Structure 1
């Protein structure tokens, strides 16, 4: 296992993070919707893009492991924690702005809050996002969706910091136009990505292939009637309450939808409804959810996920893939 951060690295982080919320040896159970996870060596609430860039340049130069997260709603952190730095975008201070049929929001903004701003502006298109608990950045990363909605449908442009060497200065492949290696500062560049350049797929985006720190996104919506938008949001909220185990801590849908079927259906048919290890359990309300009944460990949750994956493959030949991102295992 990698050693914890050295004293000199900690001192440098303290200098870089003056005025920021920096915490060492921070328990991650308070920063994930699963409510589990050991200590991260450092946790930083990043408030603006310039600070994010300085931190990323430093971490890349010093080869310090780091992980970028929003609200931690799709994250399973190991009981032993994470040997590195967590950069949390939820502290971004820019307001959500509405201009005609477009919304510009910081990546750390809760998706539900953006949906409410759309409702106030009589803009339709985010009704399906109103009950998604994650941040905009996380939603962009995984092309979050629910009830026939996906982020790719509304994302017009994304501002991000792209980390690492590249053979092009633009995602489309425009030539770099210079010789020699990149400086450390050039390894972290601000880029603008169109919706098509985000390369959205089912629960995926370009962020699964490139290292990106999302800053903000412009969403294009459709003018609508506020009473109809509100009614749709209320309808979907009721469906969630009826069908999903909202009374327990979880990361939402644990598994991706396999081609031609549904994860919950396959899990139930494999006889795993209510399957439990310790306080981690396949939900009895919706088998597509693995929940923390209260006091579960990350290891117990991971054991349930592995058991479900193996049993379903034995029964059906289908290998389920997780939506949940494991960290520190």
Structure 2
């Protein structure tokens, strides 16, 4: 199916305002890098998402989902086919001790809403820049907490567009992984089950974690967050620092001088710069310590021709 035909099919059930053609994806990533999407769609309902997925599935059109672009690198050649943004799914509602939110809601905002309703359990997420969908996808965590601790259930669709409700205990959440990843599911909505707490205690915890994050992380530059998973019995940032790689630069991208676990865009860097410096860091750490650093950040899309 050519792009003109795809556009015609999309317009049969989506308003034109929700469809962008040849859209630069660097507008939507924290690294400020990435090529163009053939089609960038911003559906506003689960039904619209299901229709798009079914169209793609039935016609073998490549399909990619994006949250808020915080832990992802999109290659400079962009993404073929359809990219679906889930940022319109940003509603957050509270019912007793449960919070239900769309997958496009920022997990930071969910943690703040929990605090405002005297609910404890999401304090750890007060500095995580990702979306709810991304947080579930990789079982996001920080400062001793993780999504696994408080998720109740999710609504997700598979690659045929079929809707599933999956209970927390069936998500197989582990360190930076989940059944959502392994089965290529797409989270549309998540419900967290929290505990009643004291708002002042909750706020104090969030203030402490926020300060610790600001002190340690290079928030002044675009980045994709923590680049590497934590190796067993080690810390990625410490290994990179001990390998003498802090400040190492390729193009406009460098290993942060503030925190070696971060790679920052300091001067109009490209996704290619990111890929090259990540590979270099992995190579040097392997040579020096015989430890393989596995990426936490996802790299998707096409290289430049």
Please give the TM-score of this superposition, normalised by the length of structure 1: 0.89
CA contact (8 A) 1:107 1:214 kept: yes
User: How do 1:217-232 and structure 2 match up within 5 A?
Assistant: 217-232=190-205
1:16 aligns with 2:29: no
Counterpart Cα distance in 2 of 1:254 and 1:210: 23
Residues 271-304 of structure 1: per-residue CA shift (max 9 Å, x gap):
1111111110000000000111130011011110
Instruction: Indicate the residue corresponding to 2:73 in structure 1.
Output: 76
Q: 1:118 aligns with which of 104, 114, 120?
A: 114
1:46 Cα deviation from its structure 2 partner: 2.0
1:82 Cα deviation from its structure 2 partner: 1.0
Q: 2:227 aligns with which of 241, 247, 254?
A: 254
User: How do 1:56-135 and structure 2 match up within 5 A?
Assistant: 56-92=53-89, 95-135=91-131
Instruction: Indicate the residue corresponding to 1:37 in structure 2.
Output: 34
What's the RMSD between the two structures over aligned residues? 1.3
Q: Secondary structure at the match of 2:228?
A: coil
CA contact (8 A) 1:127 1:233 kept: yes
CA contact (8 A) 1:20 1:44 kept: no
- Equivalences, count: 302
Counterpart Cα distance in 2 of 1:111 and 1:197: 21
| Structure 2 unmatched runs, 5+ | none
1:13 Cα deviation from its structure 2 partner: 1.8
1:114 Cα deviation from its structure 2 partner: 0.6
1:100 Cα deviation from its structure 2 partner: 1.3
User: How do 1:144-159 and structure 2 match up within 5 A?
Assistant: 144-159=140-155
1:295 aligns with 2:292: no
Residues 2-39 of structure 1: per-residue CA shift (max 9 Å, x gap):
xx952111221222322652101000100110100110
Residues 167-191 of structure 1: per-residue CA shift (max 9 Å, x gap):
xxxxxxxxxxxxxxxxxxxx32111
| Structure 1 unmatched runs, 5+ | 164-186
Instruction: Indicate the residue corresponding to 1:47 in structure 2.
Output: 44
1:323 Cα deviation from its structure 2 partner: 0.9
Please give the TM-score of this superposition, normalised by the length of structure 2: 0.96
User: How do 1:120-199 and structure 2 match up within 5 A?
Assistant: 120-163=116-159, 187-199=160-172
Q: 2:255 aligns with which of 254, 278, 282?
A: 282
1:122 Cα deviation from its structure 2 partner: 0.3
Instruction: Indicate the residue corresponding to 1:180 in structure 2.
Output: none
Stretches of 4+ aligned residues off by more than 6 angstroms = none
1:314 aligns with 2:287: yes
Counterpart Cα distance in 2 of 1:294 and 1:237: 27
Q: Secondary structure at the match of 1:315?
A: helix
Instruction: Indicate the residue corresponding to 1:176 in structure 2.
Output: none
Q: 1:7 aligns with which of 4, 7, 28?
A: 4
